A and B are shown apart, each in its own frame.
Chain A
Amino acid sequence: MKVVLDHLTKRFPNRTKGEPDVIAVNDFTFEIPDGKLIGLLGPSGCGKSTCLNLISGLEKPTSGRVWFGDTDVTELEPENRGVGLVFQNYALYPHLTVRQNIMFPLQNLKGADKLTKEEMLRRSDEAAKMVQIENLKDRKPAQMSGGQQQRVAIARALVKMPRVLLLDEPLSNLDARLRLQTREEIRRIQRETGITTIFVTHDQEEAMSISDEIVVMKLGVLQQIGKPQEVYNDPVNLFVAQFLGTPAINTFTGEVINEKIYIGEEAVLPAPGVPNQNVWVGIRPEGFVLDENGPFTLDLTRVEIMGRDTSVVATHPFAQSPSVRAIISSENEVDADAARIRFSLKPKKVFIFEAESELRIRF
């Protein structure tokens, strides 16, 4: 089922009287292709969850429409939209067993959709099997780990075969190891069922690793949509560049003079066709190349060797963060006692942004 958001806006009245409304979602327009896994990504408070609630129908938009395929579902109540929603804290009914929890949505069906007891059991067993919790069916949620509860919540959302599956921060309550495992699991389940899935996260790594496409948001405004690697390689503005990637991109204040990018006194890279102006310079950690005669000089702080990679931590007076991190192959030998270190830069890993608007300047 294709999901289309058409100029979707949601305003909340401000809690303090007289203050302007809070715009949680501002004029959202995008299309989610059928059967894809989409990550809604942004820092907390950027309107991701509101966006999800608008799709599920728990919130009604102030303006704009939501389409599922060719059906306008904007005015439909949640139960008539055919969505499955997995809540951040799972919202499993604590007094019901796993099986009862999974069967709950099926028992709600009325009239022609009403299922026989056997059919309900069969489908709940199927859903339980899908998320690999067949052996836990008689437990109560409190007797299970967070990861298991998560699976039950997914099974409960899947059992009624929704047209769209929504996941609200599905991994945030899990520990690091379980998180890796569960995100693969979500990916697998999504592939197997082919259900259009939208999940919300503030963790860019999570979104990048399993999404077909990511949607980056900031303060209710859509920033960029695209395949994870495309967005990473070609950010439209400073925010997107900074938000994606671990370690984060290194940002410097710089200047373009005579089609050359200057950071401080050093001309680090040519920028053909760019007029003279102040800019933000973003350099991905993997964009540094160790080069004795390189144009870019940093004050070396320390060297961290982590197997495959070597992480060079340095400082620079024009850097926006206290330390600059460069990642180079550990085949390079770095003199850890040196006071300064010189790099040349990979042009594809260096982005410049307008100083005021923070929009990308392509060169």
Chain B
Amino acid sequence: MKNSKLKGWLYLLPAIIFLGIFMVYPLVDVFVYAFQEGFNFASQTYKGVGWFNFDYVLRDPYFLQAVKNTFILVIITVPVSTGLALLISLGLNSIKPLKNLFQTVYFLPYVTNTLAVGLVFMILFKKTAYTDGLVNLIINWFGSESIDFIDGPYWAKMFVMCFYTVWVVMPFKILILTSALASVKQDYYNAAKIDGTSKGRIFRRITLPMISPMIFYLVITGFIGAFKAYSDEVAIFGTDLNVAGMNTIVGYVYDMLYGDSGGYPSYASAAALILFVIVLTITVINLMVSRKNVHY
């Protein structure tokens, strides 16, 4: 008995060592930095211990802007992308011809490089000396003025941001949902059909409950992913997100560490911890909601 326990630990050892060095230790470090006032990497010194860093970060207009941006992004993109993915999956699931082709097409964004996609979005939306971009051409055609989506008003930039995010995260959701839909046994639908169940009721009372665990999984990972948004913003608006007013919380953390005005690991750590608390809260709320609505 004792011997087998020892063996178990031995098998776990490589994983524990790696996780310890690359995950647990940095996490502890972040926690420590967050409470050290004015920590300096080079000299490894700090002035004091306390809530000072949080105080600073929470008053920093750049951080508040980043929080606002992130929340807008999360609140818009998670429901929209999940809903659209569900619609597309339902469509994919109900067609026979060309199903595989469409599945591949819808999955393409997932394997495409973020920066390449960003470039395409630039072509679609960016105003240059030569052209106002494809989308503006369409807007002009309908008789409206061109809008500068990349350097223009906040709502326009936010629209591009959300559009982009939805487009990037959707393939994975479609993939998961199509397989979830395909795994609902035909017998349930046959039984419902025999009993004269309407299409809407079949969807609400059978399909949706059956795939609810997968939807829930997508919502949770969707929330977490959206809260961690950063690289997509860089792909569209460049590295100076604060100037563009499109920074996110993770972007703020990065800027505090390595940005032009960076070198403040304490502020960065404090911001990261705040993000952690936000994500944790949202996830716990999600879990509580799901316990009521997700079946088996």
Contact = CB atoms under 8 A, between A and B. Distances in A.
Given A79-B196, A142-B296, A95 B209 contact: yes
A78 interface: yes
B7 interface: no
Q: Taking chain B's interface residues, is the majority helix, strand, or loop, or is none over half, making it mixed?
A: helix
A104 interface: yes
B194 A85 contact: yes
Given A91-B188, A93-B206, A108-B201, A79 B295 contact: no
Contact of B187 (A89, A96, A108, A110): A89
B168 to A, nearest CB: 32
B3 interface: no
Interface string A82-121: 0111010101011110000000110111100000000000
B295 A105 contact: no
Nearest to A100: B205
Contact of B194 (A79, A110, A142): A79
Contacts of B201: 107-108
Nearest to B295: A95
Interface in B272-296: 295-296
A91 to B, nearest CB: 4
B210 A78 contact: no
A80 B206 contact: no
Contacts of B198: 108, 110
Given A58-B190, A108-B201, A91 B185 contact: yes
Nearest to B201: A108
A91 B190 contact: yes
B215 to A, nearest CB: 13
A56 interface: yes
B260 interface: no
Nearest to B210: A95
B205 to A, nearest CB: 8
Contacts of B191: 85, 87, 91, 156
B195 A104 contact: yes
A60 interface: no
A78 B205 CA distance: 19
Interface residues on A, range: 20 to 34
A90 to B, nearest CB: 8
Interface string B178-199: 0000000101101111111110
A156 B195 CA distance: 9
Nearest to A142: B296
A101 to B, nearest CB: 10
A160 interface: yes
Interface in B164-188: 185, 187-188
Contacts of A104: 192, 195, 197, 205
Contacts of A93: 188, 205-206, 209
Contacts of B188: 91, 93
B204 to A, nearest CB: 11
Contacts of A78: 193-194, 196
Nearest to B190: A58
Contacts of A96: 205
Interface in B196-252: 196-198, 201, 205-206, 209-210
Given A80-B196, A108-B195, A108-B198, A87 B190 contact: yes
Contact of B193 (A79, A84, A109, A140): A79
Interface of A: 56-58, 77-80, 83-85, 87, 89, 91, 93-96, 104-105, 107-110, 140, 142, 156, 160
A-B CB proximity, top 10 nearest: A79-B196, A95-B295, A105-B195, A91-B187, A95-B209, A91-B191, A85-B194, A78-B194, A108-B196, A108-B197
